[in-house]
């Protein structure tokens, strides 16, 4: 009975340590993401401040436009300093659909190796690039795929092939079975 309790305590400790290491990874990734996001926003703000129109100098001539009617003309001089996020969100939503990249993937079966990298999601091995509406390619039987990270080769069924939205690197070469798709 004591041995069972000892093994149970050891197992719980191992699981807790894995969860803590995964949370540290998530925290550091979130911190990097926030830094990149603030850098992008500051770059966008710098870009908009450079594009702002300058107010023309008063040459001493007769007032024109709003000044002749008694207005100040300030509203037409420059766009607001604080940009509303709605324009930016609309353009991101539009670009999201335009720049979607889909590919055929299988999930790596070497769970223990990839568990250290990501506790909640399984590692995806890209096979070929596709489009959002293409049907799954017809495959005759089991096929083998080698993972780029863990270097293990496993056999997969045709039903294991999934479509996933993911951008592929420029150096990507498709799997031999998927080169004709």
Cα dist from 108 to 24, 60, 122, 130, 145, whole Å: 24, 75, 7, 20, 9
For residue 145, pLDDT over 80 is answered with yes
Q: How confident is the model at residue 170 (pLDDT cuts 50, 70, 90)?
A: confident
Token pair listed for 162: 């999934």
- Return the residue matching tokens 């498709």: 174
Q: What's the predicted TM-score (pTM) here?
A: 0.45
Q: How confident is the model at residue 60 (pLDDT cuts 50, 70, 90)?
A: low
For residue 27, pLDDT over 60 is answered with yes
Give the pLDDT of residue 174.
82
Q: pLDDT tens-digit profile of 92-118? A: 554 555 567 888 999 999 888 888 777
Give the pLDDT of residue 156.
93
Q: How confident is the model at residue 32 (pLDDT cuts 50, 70, 90)?
A: confident
- Exposed e or buried b for every residue in 46-57, given b needs 16+ CB within 10 A? eeeeeeeeeeee
Give the pLDDT of residue 122.
85
Mean pLDDT, residues 134-157 taken together = 89
Share of the chain residues as helix, strand and coil, in percent rounded to the nearest 5: 40, 15, 45
Domain ranges of the chain: 1-36, 98-165
Give the pLDDT of residue 52.
53
């Amino acid at each position: 009975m004591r041995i069972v309790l000892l093994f149970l305590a050891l197992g719980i400790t191992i699981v807790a340590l894995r969860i803590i290491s995964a949370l540290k990874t998530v925290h550091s990734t979130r911190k990097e993401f926030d830094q990149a996001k603030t850098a992008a926003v500051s770059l966008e703000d710098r870009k908009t401040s450079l594009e702002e129109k300058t107010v023309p100098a008063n040459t001493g001539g007769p007032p024109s436009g709003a000044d002749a009617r008694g207005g100040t003309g300030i509203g037409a001089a420059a766009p607001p300093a604080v940009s509303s996020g709605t324009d930016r969100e609309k353009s991101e939503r539009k670009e999201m659909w335009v720049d979607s990249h889909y590919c055929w993937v299988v999930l790596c079966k070497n769970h223990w190796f990839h568990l250290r990298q990501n506790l909640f999601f399984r590692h995806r091995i890209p096979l070929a690039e596709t489009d959002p509406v293409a049907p799954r390619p017809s495959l005759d039987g089991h096929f083998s795929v080698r993972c780029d990270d863990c270097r293990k080769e496993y056999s997969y069924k045709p039903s294991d092939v999934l479509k996933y939205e993911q951008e592929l690197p420029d150096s990507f070469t498709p799997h031999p079975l998927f080169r004709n798709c």
